[in-house]
Amino acid sequence: MKLLKKLSEACGIPGREDAIRKIVSSELKGKVTSMKTDPMGNIIAFKRGSGKGTRKRVMLAGHMDEIGFVVQSIDDKGFIRIHPLGGFDPKTLITKRVMVHGTKSIVGVIGSKPPHIMKPEERGKVPEISQLFVDVGLPGKKVRKTVSVGDQVTLDVAFSPVGDYVTGKAMDDRIGVYIMIEVMKKLRGHKVDVYGVGTVQEEVGIRGAMTSTFDVAPDIGIALDVTLACDIPGANSDPITKLGEGCAIKILDSASISNPKLVKKFVQIAKKNKIKHQMEILPRGGTDAGAMQRGHGAAAAITISIPCRYVHSVVEMISMKDVQAAVNLIVKFIQTAHEGSYEL
């Protein structure tokens, strides 16, 4: 869990994934055949298979970026306006603590008018993100010394256990990065070639997975990401998935329809090895599978998801049991995959 805490608390908005890439690189150093970073920032760790001849290529993709902001402007009083990267619900942002990453990282808060001075029509109304501002407690002159337009701003919260679960920021998708790292470390005696990829810029439209797919040219692509767990009061919808009920084998979302033969194969392996799993149909949302399926020669793609409550907030909550199930399932899949073991 130490590694997950480190990943969750590290900061990296789309296009600024450096801190997460560093963690991936130091975790996998010496444990894979080779590792490289492409110009866009995707990190690709390669573990060679023992199969003879042309080996199948399996790509695992977990996105390193988290939703966040860049500094749009700084006014003379020092208040910072921000531009979002990724899908925020503005309700979840007001009065949150943030880190502004200039020449050094400084603490700020997303300010809001106190209720005492709100007009009746303002109460209950949610501001737009363009109206939000960050207060770093310094005058404009001082702010400009450390902060520039374009610097990243991330939400700031500590990772922590909560009851049977864990909670923190950026579980979307540091949990996918974590699973990728764990799988790469665990793999032994596999016949296929495996590429563990920490992708960039997923939250702004699955961009890094697209380019890394052209590079890796996978036969099989497995995206690792969170999915909605709406097993909460008042959700008024299908729960999609439930926390603690196992990793989710995705049937479809709005960016990809999982390869049906892969879905079947994963269900078989889960059943045979008594790995707790659930089936997932997500009406809105997508993962790196969408890029792997459409890039290069079109890989057979699937997503193995981790159920997550409160997705795209700073209290994203998951069950480590579901995470363990995902790791076990993917390791089993790769270790039993060999030429002719499945037709896709």
Position of tokens 């990793």?
247
Closest approach of Cβ 85 to Co ion, in Å? 11
| Candidates 97-105, 171-179, 213-221, 257-265; binding stretch for Co ion (CB under 5 A) | 171-179
Say whether 202 is catalytic.
yes
Structural contact between residues 45 and 89, judged by C-beta atoms closer than 8 angstroms: no
Residue 17 sits in the site that holds Co ion (CB under 5 A): no
Beta strands 220-228 and 300-308 are parallel
Structural contact between residues 100 and 136, judged by C-beta atoms closer than 8 angstroms: yes
CA distance 98 to 134: 8
Q: Please, which residue, 303 or 328, has the CB nearer to Co ion?
A: 303
Residue 66 sits in the site that holds Zn ion (CB under 5 A): no
Peptide bond into 225 cis (omega under 30): no
Residue 316 sits in the site that holds Zn ion (CB under 5 A): no
Closest approach of Cβ 153 to Co ion, in Å? 17
| Candidates 111-119, 169-177, 241-249, 259-267; binding stretch for Co ion (CB under 5 A) | 169-177
- Which residue among 17, 65, 156, 172 contacts Co ion (CB under 5 A)? 172
Closest approach of Cβ 56 to Co ion, in Å? 29
CA distance 233 to 64: 30
Continuous H helices in the chain: 2-9, 18-28, 140-146, 171-186, 207-216, 260-272, 289-294, 320-336
| Candidates 123-131, 151-159, 166-174, 177-185; binding stretch for Co ion (CB under 5 A) | 166-174
Residue nearest to Co ion (CB): 172
- Which residue among 173, 193, 219, 322 contacts Zn ion (CB under 5 A)? 173
CA distance 326 to 342: 20
Binding mask 217-256 for Zn ion (x = CB under 5 A): --------x-------------------------------
Closest approach of Cβ 138 to Co ion, in Å? 31
Q: What is the DSSP string of 8-70?
A: HHS---TT--HHHHHHHHHHHTTTSSEEEE-TT--EEEEE----SSSPPEEEEEEE----EEE
Binding site for Co ion (CB under 5 A): 172
Binding site for Zn ion (CB under 5 A): 172-173, 225
